[in-house]
Amino acid sequence: MRARRSLVVLLALLTLALSACYPAGKPVPPAPQPLQGFDAACAPTLDKMTTWWTASPYTSVGVYLGGSSVYCKTAMQPYFTASWVSSVTTQGWTIIPIWVGPQAPCTTLTDVTQINNDPNTAYTAGVYEAYYAAVRATALGMGHGPIYYDMEAYPSGDAKCTQVVQQFAKGWAAGLHFFGHTAGMYSSLCSGIKDLAAAPDPGSMDAVWPAAWPYNADDARYGTYVPTLFGMNCGGVTTPPDNYWWNHQRLRQFRGGHDETWGGVTINVDTDATDGPTYP
């Protein structure tokens, strides 16, 4: 009951809050070679993480904290605990925490929950998801740092759906800021990221993580090639604009699910270029 009262107070405060700084400005030259990260459906065991730290080129790992639409439920990864977080960060890993709650109301995905198709309630829904995500992150020992909302690809061109996603993202960011976290958003370059960049106040989000896959899965350069975090293109337009989220505020998922083997240990992963906020 106390938690519910606190959440009501939080909603009232955030309704009055001003947006964070606008993300536009003069870009700084990007790092010549972003760092590399990976994310897997379920957090790899500590033994696998130890092997990959020594053998692989990766320095960051994306982990799914939970949410109503997450594939890897808590019961499927019982070893993913505060002790796991402490152990991998002690090794040197940085963590990309991910929350997969309700999806866009126009999504074509099945077996997921959806945001109510009402822009007037979407902001509040985003705040609630931020609360749940912050509670879970704290239980895992991550009481600060970023949490990225996973908004999977959805059809473009639905103005109401776009508005719902924009308002939801604004509430997500405001809620995480209230709880002392940095707010990020993962989505397809040509749906969620494009819509976020086109929002009236995109600066409420601290970082973006587009899924932008530049080559076919069998391209020979995979394994050595890491794409730029700028100049990403959606329908002939640079998305997001290069002067948005330019100050070490970008990640990029550039290859989808595939098996990789390092040190004799195989994990099915997506791969990422990273120059954005991670934990710790």
Whole-prediction pTM: 0.90
* Half-sphere exposure for 124 (CA within 13 Å, toward CB): 11
pLDDT value at residue 11: 47
DSSP conformational letter for 253: E
Lowest-confidence segment of 15-24, 78-87, 136-145, 260-269 by average pLDDT: 15-24
Q: How far apart are the C-alpha atoms of 208 and 267, rounded to whole Å?
A: 25
- Contact (Cβ atoms closer than 8 angstroms) between residue 121 and residue 160: no
- Contact (Cβ atoms closer than 8 angstroms) between residue 40 and residue 62: yes
Digit-coded pLDDT (tens) for 87-143: 999 999 999 999 999 999 999 999 999 999 999 999 999 999 999 999 999 999 999
Phi (first) and psi of residue 202, to 5 degrees: -60, -20
pLDDT over 90 percentage in the chain = 78
CATH number of 36-275: 3.20.20.80
Tokens of 255: 């290859």
Q: Look at residue 242 and give its three-state secondary structure.
A: coil
Q: How far apart are the C-alpha atoms of 133 and 64, rounded to whole Å?
A: 10
Q: How far apart are the C-alpha atoms of 5 and 233, rounded to whole Å?
A: 45
Mean pLDDT on 237-243: 94
Q: How far apart are the C-alpha atoms of 95 and 278, rounded to whole Å?
A: 6
Which position has the token pair 């985003």?
126
